[in-house]
Chains A and B, each alone.
Chain A
């Protein structure tokens, strides 16, 4: 066996120390990331005080709600999109993403009309 410029004892110490340094660095980083994360999530904006209204605003007409697609847990809203097209779109998206369709949540599907 060829001889190295390092003896086995030194190599073992270096290897253990190296892995230890990686763990120590990562542990400190975890601590830092957790602290920063906590600071960020704790800073939730206080609810804005209600603005006194002098005039009653004109009533906003809600956008017409499209029919809900069957089989989408009742949450999916369709705008100008037939059920059949919506089902195909959802299947294509799931296939492209390689994610089972039951793992995805579709909120709404809307046909965009080009002017």
Chain B
């Protein structure tokens, strides 16, 4: 046995050599990106539950030779001319660990399961008490369609533009589901942009809020919400699921799971299931979702000009969603004779509950005795429904 030859062979076969072959240097850049994301998640606490998983998936997939995720397998999966078109069997046979976990993303299972957990954690009481705040959730979808239009102007296809636009819904699972169905190649940058901007809401929204509202508007104290009965809370998810799915069947996975989770919470007889949905299920799915979405950030696909465009469009989407909510909030302020604080419109983006907290903080800055949190939770949870409807529309139009 030639020891030197063996050692040389080991070195040549190692991942380290992979950095010096072809475009291997790009993997080094992606590893640096993964480290930045890990820093943001761990040190700055930017949506750490997902961002840490995404960052680690990004790290693993860009280590040459690791073979945990194979982009080429998924290319054949999506290629209509390939014998393995839509063949999960081929993925199971040839794929690595993350390829197998990624099936849950590809089949749209993880985002929907996360929505069961979101539903189980959401109190729709403020929305039921003040149904007008539904409109603020719709208004805050403005950024989705503005960014969609902007993406078309920048040369993205309709499917890609729809996936980019949905970042403005400020709803990670919805963005991932829409992107998986319409433009899977963009999943990595879109998921990273969506979760990063969601974490940055306390920095993105306040300047826009102060720019578009007056001190007098921000200091409006809203009347106490009426008490919502248990029966109303039980009937709500049943009515909403039935109505919205009948209106837009493509929203079924998101709205169906969201409302199912909420029903588990509200019935009062399924505490164990509600507890599992809120904790165990949510955590397990978040774990798989983060690492498998992160794994799609393969250097050759991620380090492109399109990624920069997506990051810019994502910021525009968030900004204009906030603008849409605030403008309709101002309209409601006028129509109500100054009884509605327009700041709660900004909470119409569905990043629950961060956007509502930002409205609360800004309201208290203008008037220290102001207490907007519960009022802002109405538009906030309406935003979840609004972004699901927006996603359903885009999937219906471009997914056909």
* A residues adjacent to B (C-beta < 8 A): 1-6, 8, 11-12, 14-16, 18-19, 21-23, 25-30, 32-34, 36-37, 40-41, 99-100, 102-103
CB-defined contacts of B134 to chain A, threshold 8 Å:
26, 29-30, 33
Cβ contact within 8 Å between B385 and A15: no
Cβ contact within 8 Å between A6 and B229: no
Overall SS of chain A's interface: helix
A2 to chain B, nearest CB (A): 3
* B residues adjacent to A (C-beta < 8 A): 127-128, 131-132, 134-135, 137-139, 141-142, 144-146, 148-149, 152-158, 161, 229, 231-232, 235-236, 239-240, 243-244, 247-248, 369, 371, 382, 385-386, 389-390, 393-394, 397
The verdict on A14 contacting B148 (CB below 8 Å), with A26-B137, A100-B371 known, is yes
CB-defined contacts of B144 to chain A, threshold 8 Å:
18-19
A26 to chain B, nearest CB (A): 4
Overall SS of chain B's interface: helix
A5 to B267, CA, bound (A): 48
Closest A residue to B156 by CB, please name it. A4
A8 to B150, CA, bound (A): 10
B28 to chain A, nearest CB (A): 28
A34 to chain B, nearest CB (A): 5
CB-defined contacts of B244 to chain A, threshold 8 Å:
25, 29
CB-defined contacts of B152 to chain A, threshold 8 Å:
4, 6, 8, 11
> Which of the residues B137, B389, B397 comes within 8 Å of A14, measured between beta carbons?
B397
Closest A residue to B242 by CB, please name it. A32
Cβ contact within 8 Å between B157 and A30: no
> Which of the residues A3, A22, A34, A36 comes within 8 Å of B390, measured between beta carbons?
A22
CB-defined contacts of B385 to chain A, threshold 8 Å:
26, 29
Closest B residue to A103 by CB, please name it. B371
The verdict on A33 contacting B131 (CB below 8 Å), with A15-B149, A26-B138, A28-B247 known, is yes
